[in-house]
Amino acid sequence: MLPGGEGTKTVNIWLMRDSASEDFVERFKKAYEEEHDGVELRFTVQEWTGIGKKVTEAIEGSGGPDVIEVGNTQVAQYADTDKLYDLTLESVRDLGSEDWLPGLAEPGSIGGSQYGIPWYAANRIVIYNKDLFRDAGIDKPPATRDQWLADTEKLNKNGSQGIYLAGQDWYTLSGFIWDEGGELAVDKGGQWTGALESPAAQRGMAFYKELQSLGSGPKNADEQNPPQADVFAKGDVAQLIATPSAVAAILKTNPGLKNKLGYFPIPGKKADQPCAVFTGGSDLIIPENAPQRTAALDVVKAMAGEKWQTELARAMGYVPNKKGLASVVAGQEATAVMARGAARGRATPNSPQWANVEADNPIKPYMTAVLQGEDPMKAAQKASEAITDTLAE
C-alpha cells in the first residue's frame, strides 16, 4: 500500500534538533515502512528552546503527536499532567527493562510506572592531551581518584593547566556527590528537600574544589563561559571533563590535536569502578491522546530495540540504552569510554519541579562561594533551602 493511501495509519513522531541525523531517520523510516504495510511515519524536528510548553500543550490537547522524544530529566514534569500512556507492561514484556541504563530508566519511572522509554544516552568522560601526559612522565590514564589528583598535580606545571574545570560545572559536581553516597535533593514522603549540606555531599564538593584548583578555570562561571572546548584547543590544557561531542569543537578550532587526544572514564575511588556520572539523553513517551497509540507502541519498540539502538549509537556516537549493548560501540574509542561510565549513570532528582531549579540554579553560586573560600556548610545550607523552596512550588 502506498504511503498516505486509503487505510494507511500515519504515526506522527516528534524528534529534537540534532538528536538523530537525517540519514538515520530516513533509513529507519524506509525500513520500518517496508516491514509494516499500511503504516506511514511522519517525523517532525522540534527545537529545544520552549519545548516544555509545546509538549505540555500537545499532550493536554487532542490529536497531538503519537511519539515524542523528550529529555530524560523532563519525563517527570510531563507525567505530572497525568496525560502520558503507562508503558510499564511493554517495558518488562518486550523491551528488556532490567538491562536499561539507570540514568535513563529511573527518570522515566514515576510512582512505580514507566512513562519514558530510554532512547539514547551521553555522559561526561575525561578528554586528555597525550603529549602533555607523556611530557609529564605519565604513561597511562589514572584509574582511581587519588591517582587522578596526583597525576593532575604533575601536569599542572611548566605553563600548562593540569585540568580545565570551570567553577560552576554542576553536572560534574553531581557525579562526585553521588560517588560519595550523597544526593542533590531527597524525597521525604513526597516532600523534596535540598541535601547539599549532608556529609557525603560536602565530601563531593571538597573533592571538586581540590581538583579545580589544579588548573586556571574560572571560579565564577560555567563550562560555556568561555566555551571549554576552545580553551582546551589551545594545547596547554592537559585534561577536560566533557561529553565526546566536545571533540568535534576542539578539532574544529585546532585540527593539529587530531591524533593527540585520549579518553578515560572519570575515575572513582576504586580502580574497578568509575565515578558516578550524570547521564543526559532522551526518552520516548506516548501521550494518552495519541491518535495511533497501538501503532506508536510498535514504533517505540523498534526505536528502542537492539537493531536500531545499535544503528543509532554507531551513527551518532551515543551510548545505547542497555548496558548489554555497550560492545556495539567498541570500535569508537571515546564512545566506548563513555559507555563504561554510563553503567554508573544517574539523573537529577525525579521531581516535576526540577526544571525550575535548573532555571535559576542555586547550585552554581554555591560552588563559586566554596571555591572562593566561603564556609562550605553555610553556603550549602543556603543553596539547599533554595532548592527545597523551588521543589515545593
Distance of alpha carbon 208 from alpha carbon 152, whole angstroms: 13
Mean pLDDT over all residues of the chain? Answer: 93
Q: Please indicate, yes or no, whether residues 209 and 172 belong to a single structural domain of this protein.
A: yes
pLDDT at position 3 over 50: no
Average pLDDT over residues 10-25: 95
Q: What is the pLDDT of residue 4?
A: 47
Asked, for residue 36, whether it belongs to a domain, the answer is yes
CATH number for the domain including 355?
Answer: 3.40.190.10
Q: How many CB atoms lie within 10 A of CB 270?
A: 10
Does one domain contain both 232 and 338? no
Query: Is the distance from CB of 266 to CB of 126 less than 8 angstroms?
Result: yes
In a domain, 309, yes or no: yes
Ramachandran sector of residue 137 (left: φ over 0; alpha: ψ -120 to 50; beta: rest) = left
Write the CB contacts of 35 (distance below 8 Å, at least 6 apart in sequence). none
Q: Please tell me whether residues 245 and 308 are part of one structural domain.
A: no
- Round to whole Å and give the CA distance between 73 and 80: 13
What is the count of structural domains for the chain? 2
Predicted confidence (pLDDT) at residue 189 exceeds the cutoff of 80? yes
CA–CA gap between residue 163 and residue 151 (Å, rounded): 10
Residues 270 and 283 grouped into a single domain: no
Whether 3 maps to a domain, the answer reads no
Residues 13 and 37 in one domain: yes
Specify if 2 maps to a domain: no
Q: Which of 331, 346, 361 is the last residue of a domain?
A: 346
Shared-domain flag, residues 96 and 118: yes
Residue 1 included in any domain: no
Give yes or no: residues 314 and 383 share one domain: no
Which residue(s) pair with 224 in the sheet? 227
Write down the pLDDT at residue 7.
Answer: 74
If asked whether residues 271 and 314 sit together in one domain, one would say: no
Q: Model confidence over 139-182: pLDDT tens digits?
A: 999 999 999 999 999 999 989 999 999 999 999 999 999 999 99
Is the residue at 226 inside a domain?
yes
- Over residues 29-36, the mean pLDDT reads 97
Instruction: List, for residues 253-285, the tens digit of each pLDDT value.
Output: 999 999 999 999 999 999 989 999 999 899 999
Please report the pLDDT score of residue 103 as a whole number. 84
Q: According to the model, what pLDDT value does residue 1 have?
A: 37
Q: Is residue 271 in some structural domain?
A: yes
For residue 385, which of 250, 105, 194 has the smallest C-alpha distance? 194
Cα torsion for 23, 29, 30, 31, to the nearest 10°? Answer: 110
Nearest to 351 by CA among 161, 134, 111, 115: 111
Res 38: pLDDT: 95
Winning range, highest mean pLDDT, from 26-30, 118-122, 156-160: 26-30
Q: Assess whether 206 and 285 both reside in one domain.
A: no
Q: What is the pLDDT of residue 254?
A: 97
Beta bridge pairs of residue 277: 345
Residue (of 89, 33, 79, 40) closest to 56 by Cα position: 79
Percent of the chain with pLDDT over 90: 80
270 and 158 in one domain?
yes
Is 326 found in the same domain as 305? yes
Least confident stretch, 40-44, 89-93, 142-146: 89-93
Q: Which amino acid is at 205?
A: M
pLDDT > 80? residue 195: yes
- Find the mean pLDDT for residues 21-49: 96
Does residue 5 have a pLDDT over 80? Answer: no
334 occurs within a structural domain: yes
User: What domain range includes position 73?
Assistant: 9-123+279-346
Predicted confidence at residue 326, as pLDDT, reads 86
In this structure, the answer to whether residues 334 and 256 fall within a common structural domain is: no
Give the distance from CA 300 to its chain's centroid.
20
Q: Is the pLDDT of residue 134 over 80?
A: yes
